[in-house]
Structure 1
Amino acid sequence: MRIISIHVDGLAQAVENGLYSWLQSADADVVAIQNLKAKEYQLPDSVVYPEGYNAYFFDAEADGYSGVAILTRDMPKAIMTGLAFPQCDMQGRYIQADFEHVSVGSILFPAVDQYNSLEDKLAFQKAFLDHLTKTRRKRRDFIFCGNFEATHKTVDLGDWQNNQDVPGFLPEERAWFDQMFGPVGYVDAFREANFGENQFTWWPDEESARRNLNGWRKDFQICTPNIRQYVVEAKLDTNLKFGDHAAVMVEYEFDED
Structure 2
Amino acid sequence: MKLISWNVNGFRALQRKMDVYQWLKETEADVLCIQETKMHRDQVEFDTPGYFQYWNDAVRKGYSGTAIFTKKEPLNVIYGMGIDVHDQEGRLITLEYENYYLLTVYTPNAKRDLTRLNYRLEWGAAFTEYIKRLDQHKPVIFCGDLNVAHQEIDLTYPKSNAKNSGFTEEERTDFSRLLNEGFIDSYRTLYPNQKGAYSWWSFQFSARQRNVGWRIDYFVTSQRLKDQITDAKILREVAGSDHCPVELDLAE
Same fold (TM over 0.5): yes
- Residue in 2 that maps onto 1:157: 155
The 5-angstrom pairing of residues 38-57 of structure 1 reads 38-44=39-45, 47=46, 49-57=47-55
- Residue in 2 that maps onto 1:16: 16
Q: TM-score, normalised by structure 1?
A: 0.91
- Residue in 1 that maps onto 2:183: 186
1:33-78 deviations in Å (ceiling 9; x for gaps):
101111111222xx1x213211110110001111100110111111
The 5-angstrom pairing of residues 100-249 of structure 1 reads 100-113=98-111, 117-138=116-137, 140-182=138-180, 184-195=181-192, 196-205=194-203, 207-249=205-247
Q: CA deviation at 1:207?
A: 4.8
List runs of 5+ in structure 1 lacking aligned partners. Answer: none
Output the CA distance in 1 between the equivalents of 2:152 and 2:164: 13
**2:35 alignment partner AA:** Q
- Residue in 1 that maps onto 2:93: 95
List runs of 5+ in structure 2 lacking aligned partners. Answer: none
**1:127 alignment partner AA:** A
Q: CA deviation at 1:86?
A: 2.7
Output the CA distance in 2 between the equivalents of 1:199 and 1:92: 28
How many percent identity over aligned positions?
28
Which deviates further from its counterpart, 64-73 or 237-246? 237-246
**2:179 alignment partner AA:** F
Output the CA distance in 1 between the equivalents of 2:74 and 2:16: 27
Pairs aligned (count): 248
Decide whether the 8 Å contact of 1:88 with 1:94 is kept in 2: no
Decide whether the 8 Å contact of 2:4 with 2:31 is kept in 1: yes
Instruction: Indicate the RMSD between aligned Cα atoms, in angstroms.
Output: 1.7
Partner SS state of residue 14, structure 1: helix
Partner SS state of residue 127, structure 1: helix
Partner SS state of residue 162, structure 2: coil
